[in-house]
Amino acid sequence: MANFIRGELAVESNGQTYTLVLTTNALVELQDVLSTPERPVTLTQVLGRVGQNDIKYFRAFVWAATREHHPTLTLKDAGQLIDGAGGVAGLARQIEALAASMRPDPDDAATAGKTDDAGRPIDAQTTPSGIGRRSIGNRARSA
């Protein structure tokens, strides 16, 4: 079961549920699969190409996001997953939510590294339940 707070996304494709998550290891594998010794690619370049609908990069992005929960999936399998989930356009909308989970919360970014008068780290505010506002907003957007 996907845990959206951990940045996981459940995707239905061809009658099966896949859990996508962009872990550090997944991002490294993504760079590795698209790089060559003569032409290494950065994560920024990869995400830019995914955003430009470069299908090779999009398929590799989906493949990398499956690595944590579905390590035996191949790049070809990732293409079939995309097709079964409504094609690039259908899956791209869902993946935008996953990519958004990688962006820092503005409240957290604003207080990162700052301390109060006593030298204690300043935390971003949370809702009364203790769950960060970002988590609630992301969950609401995914519904």
pTM across the whole model: 0.66
Query: To the nearest whole percent, how much of the chain has pLDDT over 90?
Result: 45
- Most distant CA pair in the chain: distance in Å? 56
State the pLDDT at residue 71.
Answer: 96
Domain limits, the chain: 4-103, 104-143
Per mean pLDDT, which range of 6-10, 20-24, 59-63 is the poorest?
Answer: 6-10
Mean pLDDT along residues 81-99: 82
Section 36-64 average pLDDT: 92
How far apart (Å, rounded) are the C-alpha atoms in residues 65 and 85? 15
Does residue 95 or residue 100 have the better pLDDT?
95
